[in-house]
Structure 1
């Protein structure tokens, strides 16, 4: 078993918030903050990813039902994905029996997991390269989003990482 070194190096990657009307919310953030729409994968539900400086803002379409709003989240990128996984698994932080309990490989090769903090806030942990991770260290399989949802050519160009190296110095 991998022993986690805590705390580890992490950076904010993106924030995801609910949107009742994606077009209206996209226009709002474009006009108010100068955000620019960027390509997103197909998750099987409506999303809009936007560049916000050197970070991203993700908008998720929600319905009128309040429980759908509980999936807003923030995301951090980590240097040691496996170590973070084991610490979070030991803490019981995964939301079992939902799509958020799984580890996901995005079309661009990034890996993501979703967990809950002690106050039930959802957050996402990201790593830029699935090939740098040994899948045998996980107690569950890594699922490929492209195996579950059809990805267009544009979806395949989506990436969580707007800049170079994971922990490269800021310009």
Structure 2
């Protein structure tokens, strides 16, 4: 018996601001949402969903979810323009992974950490991305770590 990820819920301090971020900047698609006792928006993220809940409270510092992006540079430029790159939580805003993919960390309008993943770091003009760093240059990637990938196919 296996489980498949269905959705991730995140706090939104201003539901409309968070909705615009995920829809306008990251391309998620609004979905019909049940009427709860508090403001909620459901968004499609591929075969999964992101649920935005307008609630008080601070987001966790390191817990995050990852969204795959099809084009890296336009999203990178926009996140940088908006000042949303997170340089501190994991020591850098992005890392090339052992499989040649890249992960970029940003904070949404409520401060939630979001990892934006792109499968082909070789398509990124490193000279235009000062935050670019290879994980293997910081930590040895030995044994099974060399074959680690975010793009697991079942």
Quickly name the TM-score band, shorter chain normalised.
Answer: 0.5 to 0.7
CA distance in 1, matches of 2:110, 2:132: 26
Residue-by-residue CA offset, 1:62-85 (whole Å, 9 max, x unaligned): xxxxx9x42101100011111111
Residue 95 of structure 1 corresponds to 86
3-state DSSP class of the match of 1:143? coil
- Indicate conservation of the 8 Å contact 2:61/2:89, yes or no: no
Q: Which runs of 4+ in 1 moved over 3 A?
A: 6-10, 96-101
Q: Offset of 1:136 from its aligned partner? A: 2.8
Q: Offset of 1:145 from its aligned partner? A: 0.5
Q: Offset of 1:156 from its aligned partner? A: 0.3
State how 1:61-140 maps to structure 2 within 5 Å: 69-99=60-90, 101-138=92-129, 140=130
Residue-by-residue CA offset, 1:35-67 (whole Å, 9 max, x unaligned): xxxxxxxxxxxxxxxxxxx99xxxxxxxxxxx9
Decide which of 129, 141, 144 is 2:134's aligned counterpart.
144
Kindly report the root-mean-square deviation, in angstroms, between the aligned alpha carbons of the 2 structures: 2.8
- Indicate conservation of the 8 Å contact 1:104/1:144, yes or no: yes
Q: Offset of 1:95 from its aligned partner? A: 2.4
The unaligned stretches of length 5 or more in structure 1 are 1-5, 11-53, 56-66, 165-171
3-state DSSP class of the match of 1:163? coil
Q: What's the TM-score once normalised by structure 1's chain length?
A: 0.53
Greater relative CO, 1 or 2 (CA 8 Å, sep 6+): 1
The unaligned stretches of length 5 or more in structure 2 are 1-23, 29-46, 49-57
Q: What's the TM-score once normalised by structure 2's chain length?
A: 0.58
CA distance in 1, matches of 2:61, 2:88: 16
